[in-house]
Amino acid sequence: MAPPVDCSTSGEIAVPGTSEVPTPCWREPVRNQWRAWLSGWLGWMLDALDLSTFRFGRRAPLMIAIAWFAVAGAACVSHSANRLAVGPGRLTSPLLTETEISSLDPPTALDAIRRLRPHYLRTTRVNGEACDPRVYLDGLRLVGGIDALRDIPATTVHEIRRLDALDATTRYGTGHQGGAIVITTKRGH
């Protein structure tokens, strides 16, 4: 049988007979947890009490509940949408622009992608097979895959765009299970 757990007044769990560091009994909820709780509670109140049914009928409480959940949901989504960072200050954007590339001054397009958008180089597995993204330069497919990016000087690049498998297949045809990296040079722009 497990020893009894004592939750002391300091808010920590102390297990008798052990030398483990005590852990807190409960942690303060974060802002999104409070929002979710408040949203659920107000929705329950609107549904359970339903006091305005006698005066306004059934539509008004329903419309108030729909409006409340729409506003509360939008507030939670807009708050969490700001956390798309892959690294410090790096967005998961499918576009890498000339100004971003020139700010680092990398020697090749591969170095620019590795520093700014490393997830572009991620290999996808389809049916157990590794599928690297195909590389296109000014609309022409490069032979050599990701290694071909070493031959492209970063100073000539206007933008680098990452296409997922669906977009790459739509634009360039079948065989793009790993997506595509599309590079537009200053000359091709």
Strands 134-137 and 180-185, how do they pair? parallel
pLDDT digits (tens, 9 = 90+) for 99-132: 888 888 889 999 999 988 888 888 888 888 888 8
The whole-number pLDDT of residue 36 equals: 81
Q: CATH classification of 85-185, choosing from 1.20.140.10, 3.30.420.10, 2.170.130.10, 3.10.310.10?
A: 2.170.130.10
Tell me what pLDDT residue 82 has: 42
pLDDT tens-digit readout, 151-188: 999 999 999 999 988 889 999 988 888 899 999 998 87
Q: Out of 50-64, 75-89, 161-175, which region has the weakest mean confidence (pLDDT)?
A: 75-89
pLDDT value of position 17: 56
**141 CA to centre of own chain:** 29
- To 5 degrees, how large is the angle CA 21–CA 23–CA 25? 150
Per-residue model confidence (pLDDT) at position 68: 72
Find out whether 114 and 121 touch, Cβ atoms under 8 Å: yes
- In which residue ranges of the chain is CATH 2.170.130.10 found? 85-185
For CA atoms 95, 99, 100, 102, give the dihedral sign. Answer: positive
Q: Tell me what percent of the residues of the chain surpass a pLDDT of 90.
A: 20
